[in-house]
Amino acid sequence: MTPEPHASARSPRWIYAGLWAVLLVVTIVFWSTVGPFAAAAMIAYIIEPLVAWLTRLRLPKGRHLPRWGALLVVYAAFFLAAYLFLTALVPQLYREGVKISRDVVDYANTLTPERIQQVAQSMEQWFSSRGIPVSLSRRALGVDPDLSNGMLGFSMDLEKVVRDWALGLSSSARSNFSGIVLFSRHLATGLLTAVFGLFLMLMIAAFISIDAEGIRPYFRTLVPPAWRPGARELLGRIDRSMSGVVRGQITIALINGVLTFAGLLIFGVKFAFLLATMATLFSVIPIFGTFISSVPILAIALTNSWRNAFGMLLWILGIHALEAYVLNPKIMGSAAKIHPVVVAFALLAGEHAGGLLGALFSLPICAVTMAAFEYAREKAQPTAAPSADLSP
């Protein structure tokens, strides 16, 4: 008679396991379409504290802002920031591009045969003062036959080299014109696809955020009642770890961008707004993002002077020292601390599995995995038995 209650007690757990198996199979089968939904869920998770704060604000007559209204406020602020970003960035890029193109054209116009011969003679004098026989000008090639045949030094017709280079560049531009048009078409298509994907993710994130109060209780019903206290504790740990890794990293990236922008203005580095934006975006990826964003900053600073580049390098090192010793402990806290070796492994594994998108999602996935691992490890430890009185 006893097996029946035991079987009835175990049967719901098999039903729960079957439900989770169905969700897993659906995820695997439609893996190519999971990306936008995962990104939308991440957006909803990031903006959740701001939406919750706006709904708690007291409006006139004791009213409160509904969730959909708070979400509209957040999205309006986002699009306003995007508009200000584009209006500040695009004109600067256009001005710098026009300036570079004009400088290149002006320099190309100065490369007359007479100008090339003057440059060649100046280079010959510079090498000759250091004891290096070089023939670059028409005069030296025609007067010194030994140098012209290369027996006693290096000889080269600089005017012919420049002329051949210009002709080769012109013919290459003409032959690759169709490739340039095709690349421009692919670039425009990619931008339109990215804009469409962004609006799709924002729409899905809005649905998730508005229905968050109904989504969370629904997923609780997919856990057996006996396991729900443990699942609640595990989700609490995951939330603390995720909030430190995701929201904390975004906050630190914004601070990094502001401080980088201030340093670029102080040292007079060109493209300050663009470089600071790149530093902000790449700072979301720990360790590797720092090196990637620092390379163009130092390269452009070198075009001014090595002093500017050295000062900018010290400024960047100071920013990352501030992050490591002040911002990370204060913003992320102890719940989100992940060993740098684990962070590097997660980033490399994410990039190998999914490219840049995989690298961006690697830390949140690592935070969830580490929280679940630590929870299981602690539960697996034997509980300490009450100490018995061993006195005689």
In 226-339, which ranges are continuous DSSP H helix? 228-242, 248-266, 272-282, 288-302, 306-322
Q: Residues of the chain with pLDDT > 90: what percent?
A: 3
- pLDDT at position 148: 43
* CA–CA separation, 245 and 76 (whole Å): 26
Contact between 362 and 349 (Cβ < 8 Å): yes
Instruction: State the pLDDT at residue 389.
Output: 46
Whole-angstrom distance, CA of residue 122 vs CA of residue 137 = 9
Copy the structure tokens of residue 288. 């590797």
Amino acid identity, position 86: L
All residues at 6 or more sequence positions from 128 whose CB lies less than 8 Å from its CB, including other chains:
134
Three-class DSSP category at 264: helix
Detail the DSSP E strand segments found in the chain.
134-135, 154-155
- pLDDT at site 75: 92
pLDDT by residue, tens only, the chain of 392 residues? 444 444 444 557 788 888 888 888 888 888 777 878 888 888 888 888 888 888 888 877 778 888 888 899 999 998 998 888 788 777 777 777 677 677 666 666 666 677 677 777 777 777 777 667 766 666 555 554 444 444 445 666 666 666 667 666 666 656 666 666 676 777 778 778 888 888 888 999 999 888 877 787 888 888 888 888 888 888 888 887 777 777 777 888 888 889 998 998 898 887 788 888 888 888 877 767 778 888 888 888 887 778 888 888 899 989 888 877 777 766 665 555 677 777 778 878 887 777 777 777 777 888 888 888 888 888 777 665 444 444 44
Nearest Cα to Cα of residue 131 among 154, 156, 159, 148: 154
Give the tens place of pLDDT for each residue, 27-60.
888 877 787 888 888 888 888 888 888 888 887 7
**pLDDT, tens digit, 9 for 90 and up, residues 308-364:** 888 888 999 898 888 777 777 666 655 556 777 777 788 788 877 777 777 777 778
Enumerate helices (H) and strands (E) in the chain, giving the number of each: 15, 2
Tell me the domain boundaries of the chain. Answer: 11-110, 112-173, 227-379
State how beta strands 134-135 and 154-155 pair: parallel
